[in-house]
Amino acid sequence: MELKEENFRKIADDLPFGLYIVEPDRTIVYWNKEAEQITGYKREEMVGKHCPQSGLFHMDEEGRSLCQFFCPLLATVESGEKSKARVTFLHKNGYRILIDTYFVPLKDENGETKHVAEIFEVVGPVEADSRLVENLHEIAFHDSLTELPNRLYMESILKVRFYEYHKLFRPFAVMFMDIDHFHDFNIKYGHVAGDMMLKSFADSIKENVRHEDVIGRWGGEEFVGVCPVPYEKDAVPIANRLRDVVNQAYIIKDGNKLSVTVSIGVTFVREEDTLKSIVDRADRLLFKAKQAGRDRIMIDADVPLVGKIERADIR
């Protein structure tokens, strides 16, 4: 008997436990009503998101991030076997909840895992003071000025991307971005204007990235982007768009319209890469872009170039 999708949803929404379903790359495609009740996240907030960016931040009972070190969802995709674990989720309101969760492969007629269902129920609260936990989480992972992820969070995302690259061959590009002549801007217009420009820069970027891309503040006027792409040439239009929107952004200071430009270094993951090597290479490419005259993109691969984009041989 074939179960229609509408009937499946009615049944799944009446279940007394949380249920969500992901594709092999961990994109969430279904989220039931009990999952909404347990986590605080509505279906429309979760469907279409990549699980590591869902906000749940799965951790084991020792406080280790499962997205970084061992993802049970990916393990189920690879093994095709059911498994269970006791983990914690971060509730939308900021406190952690202890969860018993079961991972079930959903296979096609050829026995290939096409989706994984995560079924979960609450064991009990881990943190009582939800406001304190929420504040600690914001401090730990977000930059207060730009409201972008901070360096610690971006390093975690890079670890996840490396895991996915080696386990699922899901390649990615890293972009280092730096506001041109920002030191001079601060001296000329003051630090208040500098902070306003950083916020404008961040807001422009947030509105112009794909949902799977993650952009964060690395430090000072330097920002980093981690973008899943099949080939490095696919990162070029992303970098071009970000450069264009930054060039169009501006602030008003004492009646004057002030704007900046940005230089970007773009590199593609390599088999031998580590977190340090790919970050260092992107940073060197950014430096090359600055040396070449700023307001441009520097890449390290043989891809078609349009606009202010140049190549550099970075090994």
**Catalytic residue selected from 221, 232, 271, 272:** 221
What is the pTM assigned to this prediction? 0.59
Q: Are 131 and 42 part of one and the same domain?
A: yes
CB 26 within 8 A of CB 47: no
Q: What is the mean pLDDT of residues 31-55?
A: 89
What is the sign, positive or negative, of the torsion defined by CA atoms of 275, 311, 263, 204?
negative
From 106, 137, 168, the end of a domain falls on 137
Q: Which domain holds residue 169?
A: 146-311
Please tell me whether residues 118 and 194 are part of one structural domain.
no
**Tally of structural domains, the chain:** 2
The confidence score (pLDDT) of residue 314 equals 53
- For residues 77 and 184, membership in a common domain is answered with no
Q: Would the pLDDT of 313 be above 90?
A: no
Asked which of 137, 169, 190 is the last residue of a domain, the reply is: 137
Concerning whether 221 is annotated as a catalytic residue, the answer is: yes
The CA-based angle 65-70-73, given to 5 degrees, is 105
| Mean pLDDT computed over 82-103 | 85
Residues 198 and 217: their CA atoms lie apart, in Å, by 10
Residue 62 has pLDDT above 80, yes or no: no
The CATH number of the domain holding residue 16 is 3.30.450.20
Supply the CATH number for residue 198's domain: 3.30.70.270
